[in-house]
Chains A and B, each alone.
Chain A
């Protein structure tokens, strides 16, 4: 087509102007009706009643101590200390993150004292047995749903300080410290990490010697890099600390040991020869007073050595039942397991909160009409939005079962199960916390601009939970330990010519599973196929990893150096182990449910969980466990699963059992919550909600 003539252009321009003027004219006529205002419509209205029982699903998810959890939710909702705020006629509780770091820390401490007075921490250190521990886990999870700082501050005191005394200490320590710690008469912290050494605890530089003349240990920070760093509770509140230090006896280093040292007196004054400084403002967790500690030849009584593993006699002889320093060191690290258990579970609850908020919002928020003059489309009716949120929902279900399993093996631990617990807790801690950060980011984006408001929680939680991939073991380091442990197991089996036993590796004793070349929908959804392909990947990667290692070592590389070189296979293997182990926990949970709508829903979620891993993890194509055609079929099946889960989305997040007050304004009537009247002072006589 040629360009229009100038005359045409002029006439078109005139027409357009006339059109504008006409438009201007008509728009001033009162008869033109404005488009109707958006009305909030609760998600319950559009969602069909669920065909599975929500409270049964919640029981399965939470797993234990449901009434204790609800009691604690209630304790927090009813107290003004938990900063209740009204929006859209509802009360929401959440810390005021706009407070200064100092104010947040003081509020954290006040909340602890309130919960203490209500009896929440009863038996947390003086009680024993699986029941007490499960209750403690449940309550700690609920606290974390309110505020991660509060949970971490308590975790340091009860799980790290208290746990160290329980596990490294002996009766004399238990009798002296546990009850006072449980009642917060003593406030404990846990000084392991140093400026120069984090994950590599064996490299710490703090040194302790023994003075047999006075019967005292002398703790010293010999250089700046030996200062204790990130010590939660140290900056403001802790009166005592566990100190991890090299122990030098008669000029010989006996390795890392744990001691109790007082750092503040009862009035809060820093003890002599101790220096404390603040770690400063952080990207999150500002309610926790992380601090730094220097020890200038601090003297502590000989009895303050936590001596379950090794002791020093009054005359200065080193005594230990465990001769191997490696094993001695491993025994010292055992209590960190409980920290990894609580981190893994709290990551799941954080994911649940963000998904509940984002999915409820996506069921009430509309954007764009597909056809003119039709209502705009609900966010969750967009297949792309389903694809963003529903796989994460399914994975969160899977990880909920994984966390429950982890807690269970932890509370039923025996000396024989220690290795399994170490490997599984390392793997699950890393995978569940990575999943959480990814979920938080996706949910934040899925809430659009509203996700940026602190009151809507998700955005803030990103900062609050980011630390999870670092503390109690850097995720990458933990995953390396997982693949190292698997390799050691593999080599032991080869060497001793015995079958695999433990760590879920028994499938390696059977013949290699065969994945059908044609994958139909029903195959993809079968637990047999799902198990087979995860086992296939784990088996193959373990064999490859072992082969690469032995090849590198045959070329003259040391084992340690070979491990560094094989990091790619090690990472893939760590993932493969974790995915297979998590799937197993899902299948076990499913098997315990009798046939019915609940079981069908679980099976749907499991298929989504597995297929999304098959779609997203490049290792399946990289190593040829799936053909490109299969991968395309899986991708298609994922979209079908999304549409099948869509009608159940509300029921699935309601089953998390999170009280409304712990969600946020956008999870409910966000139009009311943002109305003009909501920013006006209340009219007329109003009754204070709380006094």
Chain B
């Protein structure tokens, strides 16, 4: 086994191990919980593109160093950039990140992501589009964007909308945390492997001389376990989730939840209502619409639309909640964002519509996806 071939400077934010036909990419910013910097995204994109044409690579593993797989995009850095001047600097980060997501979603070789820790936001984007996602007892998944004044991006409108029933709306709007067993149950993970068996699993994958999904699948099966879904798991509430989160608008979702709360003493419902009440109202509205549109679109259309949306968020013409959210949660850490508009009823249809329109800026352009047409059903992320 080759330990790893170091990447170039940049403090080795992405480590690479080469084994026969396998390349293992390790996100290596453990102190920042492997939050994706612009450098990391660029490096990952470069590597993924190179491996696609390299016949010596048949399988790519992505994992994180330390207790996180990846806690998200480094939005604090993005906000610093923008506060320093131009929103376009921030847009650049998302452009590159979404292109990476698209490359992963349409990859001709299997990607195995080992999610042995925190998987949030951008971390989900870097794993969910791949063919295999391994959860462990250490996995913690969340899309916390609505609490940050953003919306679930990185193609989340594609993968969340394809979860069973309206679980995707629930996860995307409330930022609810899921453990490994829940990830497997809802389909965010394809396998559950106890963390103690990960080394053996990786060793087995090292020996592979085939990238056939069926072969990889059978190896993963050998190390997999059926985890126990905890008693109070949100996934047991799918019936209520479907009933409430299928409603047409955020307002109706909330009022249906409140009606449910009257009939039950369930803490889960009040916690759910609370998380919606704490989230940015603008974020909730655009997130719901994004997931709903995403359900009927392919992954490229989803990312293109999300790129438009994120540019509007960065421009801040309708709302500056993203900056306020980053201030309150990531910078000042007072956890008390002052959303503006502060109430759902202050956000009308045309304000929401604005986020889905082209950006009115001469230099701006829609996300340009690399031409990829060789989708193979066996390699699509099974969601």
Contacts and interface: CB of A to CB of B under 8 A. Distances in A.
B166 to A, nearest CB: 6
A90 B224 CA distance: 26
Contacts of A68: 248
Instruction: Specify which of B161, B238, B382 lies most central, judged by the most chain A CB atoms within 10 Å of its CB.
Output: B382
B214 A687 contact: no
Interface stretch (A72-80, A283-291, A408-416): A72-80
Contacts of B243: 117-118
Instruction: Specify which of A75, A78, A117, A659 lies most central, judged by the most chain B CB atoms within 10 Å of its CB.
Output: A78
A677 B212 CA distance: 13
Interface residues of B, number: 36
Nearest to B216: A684
Secondary structure type dominating chain A contacts: loop
A27 to B, nearest CB: 31
B380 interface: yes
Interface string B351-383: 000000000000000000000010111101010
Given A70-B293, A74-B161, A687-B184, A45 B220 contact: no
Contacts of A119: 247-248, 252
Given A117-B243, A687-B189, A689-B164, 7 more contacts: A70-B295, A78-B164, A78-B165, A78-B166, A685-B191, A685-B224, A691-B164
A255 interface: no
Nearest to A659: B296
Nearest to B133: A687
Contacts of A78: 164-166, 242, 246, 295
Contacts of A660: 296, 298
A672 interface: yes
B373 A73 contact: no
A686 interface: yes
Interface in A642-662: 659-661
Interface in A234-292: none
The bracket for how many chain A residues form the interface is 35 or more
A364 to B, nearest CB: 12
Contacts of B382: 686-687
A3 B79 CA distance: 93
A77 B184 contact: no
Interface in B173-230: 184-185, 187, 189-191, 214, 217-218, 220-221, 224
Contacts of A425: none
B43 interface: no
A371 interface: no
B214 A684 contact: yes
A425 to B, nearest CB: 29
Nearest to A117: B243
A118 B164 contact: no
B289 interface: yes
B375 to A, nearest CB: 8
A475 interface: no
A301 interface: no
A690 interface: yes
A661 B298 CA distance: 11
Given A659-B296, A685-B217, A669 B377 contact: yes
A683 interface: yes
18 contacts: A68-B248, A70-B296, A73-B296, A74-B295, A74-B296, A78-B166, A88-B377, A89-B378, A89-B380, A119-B248, A659-B296, A669-B375, A672-B376, A684-B218, A687-B187, A687-B189, A688-B164, A691-B164
Contacts of B214: 683-684
B335 interface: no
A12 B105 CA distance: 62
Contacts of A686: 382
Nearest to A662: B296
A623 interface: no
B377 A75 contact: no
A41 B165 CA distance: 32
Nearest to A88: B377
B378 A77 contact: no
Contacts of A90: 377
A42 interface: yes
